[in-house]
Chains A and B, each alone.
Chain A
Amino acid sequence: MKRKKWNYNLTIGLILTTIVVLMAVVGHFWTPYGPTDMNSMLKNAAPSLAHPFGNDNFGRDILSRIMNGMGTTCFVALCTVGIGVVFGTIIGAITGFFGGWLDEIIMRLNDALSAFPSVLLALIFISLLGPGRNNIIFALGILFIPSFARIVRSEIIRYKELEFVKSAQVMGAGKLRIIFVHILPNALVSMLTSATVGFNNAVLAEASMSYLGLGVQPPEPSLGLMLSDAQAFLQIAPWYAIFPGLTIVMIILGFSMISEGLRVYQAR
């Protein structure tokens, strides 16, 4: 009954994510060609040994631009998750443990927000704040707080009723000690899973917004922006769209497989 099954989700996810992280980190310091170097000889050139992902309409090396753009995408997603995790944990822990009117308000707000897709909400934010990388981070980060707070809150509520937490209370442990030392280590896997989901949503949202021209603004590199530019040349240079697109898929797939793998791991 307990034959160990290969956790293919976790393995593949880790491999993909490692590749992504490596490319993004290396791309920050070094790229095969200058990401903005134009070469009029190579306009819309097909992939070759020298330029494995081909060249765009200005003759720029697509691989180099992808490596650069991944950095931006991951940076935006990481900041988003960071904002959500920090504030979400604090809010979730407080509301979950103490309940009361603050809890009621936050949960109502959360219910209302969760009915709307994050891309739509981010669009509304951007229309108020104006486009740009930092505004995107701000908008997506704020939007991620309630959903992360909800996870932390439900975990806190679940554990709060368990007997080991009650016995910590009986022995006289303080409330903060109970939340951070007794409960949160148990909630780590759920929080991690939820953070990966948040990361993916941020990647998707950033790419979509940049594609629509409302996210990262040129000349800053972004995968969504590249796809937006590539659309006009879809017929003559499909590689211009395919490689940045596949990169986004790889980033998201890696993280979602890790999260699925973690879920399977926890279920055992």
Chain B
Amino acid sequence: MRNMVTQRNGIHRFFLQLGNKWAIIFLILGAILFSIISPGFLSFNGIQVILINSPFILFLSLAETFVIITGGIDLSVGFVMGFASVVSAKLIALFVGMGMNDLFSIIVGIVITLVIGIIPGFVNGVLVARLKVPPFIATFSMLGITYGISELLIKGVVAKNLPVLAGEIGNGSLIYIVPGKTVSFFIKPLIQRGGQLIEILPTVFVIPFIFILISAFILKRTKFGQHTYAIGGNVDAAIRAGIDVKNHLIKIYMLSSFFATVAGIMYVLRYITGKADAGTGFLLDGIVAVVIGGASLYGGIGSVWKTIIGCFIILVLENGLRMLGFPTFYKYILVGIVLIFAVLVDKLFPELIHKEE
């Protein structure tokens, strides 16, 4: 009898473990499935394609991770990304037009954009923390305002006339290998036409990867991260514990805007244009990735690494379906189903939440 009980517990625990890790299991199963069906999927280039497409969703979901852990939501990130892409493209084109050095104008343009890009987040934070506007409404208002301003800046077309160097940075790779000859970092070696060149790790993935490491560290190991979880878990308790909740929330929304701004700058470097609606398609994917990663919209739960797994589930589905020749339409359906499934798993195994530390 006792044996049976322990056995049942064992099975239960096994399912608990399974439920806890379902996202990564799902990701691996998906990757295996796609690599069996379409041979190119698991190839060197297949993986790099996923990495090249990853930065925008990675940045926007990083932004959402912080906000959602505090129990809020940021609907503006997609359009702050567009705003940043427009502002940086305009600035860089302006500086180049003034006769500055290409590299210098790119750097100055990016730095100024990073500063400007924090403003929407600051306003969001003040609205949410000081004026008690619900995050949904505050950030939706900011969505409208940033979208309007960026369309006005470019007058409804796209921002162009960027130096070629911008595209070279955005479409470059970390390591270049010419087999048997040279290895170089960041700088593309000159090769003969038809010559073999192996490009490893696109730069557009290296940058988000660094930010992922930093945010994972902040969220997990610093006081700032602890306070973020505390606010999401219980605001009243956080206030009683002496956390300056208002300032912290303002910082969180600024951080969210900052990540969105970096995404916008990456967009400019990658496509050499600034578009007001650059981030439209990634906004909801960002939120979805966070939720698939097991975060709760009520706050207090979530982690950077799980969000990243959520991102890659979406990316693998998208890329796999594309390689199989399905139109993107099916991706929307599958992502919707995975999203609902993710929450259902959490509901069916309520113990999971308590298992996390």
Pairing of A with B = no
- Chain A positions within 8 Å of B, measured between CB atoms, are none
Chain B: residues with CB nearer than 8 A to chain A?
none
